Structure formats: C-alpha cells, structure tokens
C-alpha cells in the first residue's frame, strides 16, 4: 500500500510504501527497534483499534488489515492520497 500525505498547501510531507507480510507461528527474536522505528507483534484486533485512533489513516488502512485478517491472499495494491490540516 502506498500512503501519500499532503499538508494544507497540498505539499507532500510523506510518501511511503507499506509491505504487508503474513506469517503464522513465527520463531526467533524480533528486533524491537532500529533507526527506522519500532517493531512489535500485534493481533489483528489490536492493530485495527490502533489504526482507528490514527488521525492520518485513510479508507484503505483498515481494508488492508481486514484483507490480511481474513487470509485473502490475492495480490492487492492501494494508494491513499490524503490531505491533512495542521493542528
């Protein structure tokens, strides 16, 4: 999924690709943080609740979680292009 975020002047301040990976019963140690951010495991319901609280989520953010939760593994691509107002 590609997320493009624009400010109130329509200037891009974020343009990111998110790759969705699914696994069952992972083993090994998760790297909890790196220079690119924090990593953690989450069940789908917790991830969905967190996404609903994210002021920058768009209509496809929840759809991707739902597709993955339901194991609908057909290829998909979404592009969210959202303008946000500063607070």
- 60-82: per-residue pLDDT in tens? 888 988 998 999 888 889 998 88
Predicted confidence at residue 2, as pLDDT, reads 92
pLDDT surpassing 80 at residue 57: no
Residues 6+ apart with CB under 8 A from 69: 44, 48
Structurally, the chain folds into a number of domains equal to 1
Strands annotated E in the chain: 2-6, 12-17, 33-34, 37-38, 79-83
Stretch 44-57: mean pLDDT:
86
Whether 81 contacts 12, CB under 8 Å: no
Interatomic CA distance for residues 43 and 45, integer angstroms: 6
Stretch 13-30: mean pLDDT:
87
Tokens coding 8 = 């109130």
Predicted structure pTM score: 0.68
- In the chain, the percentage of residues whose pLDDT exceeds 90 is 31
Range of 66's domain? 2-83
């Amino acid at each position: 999924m590609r997320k493009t975020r624009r400010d109130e002047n329509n200037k891009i301040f974020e343009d990111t690709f998110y790759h969705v990976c699914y696994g069952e019963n992972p083993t090994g140690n998760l790297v909890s943080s790196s220079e690119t951010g924090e990593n953690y495991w989450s069940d789908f319901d917790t991830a969905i609740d967190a996404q609903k609280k994210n002021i920058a989520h768009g209509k496809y953010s929840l759809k991707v979680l739902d597709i993955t939760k339901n194991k609908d593994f057909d290829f998909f691509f979404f592009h969210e292009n959202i303008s946000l107002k500063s607070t």
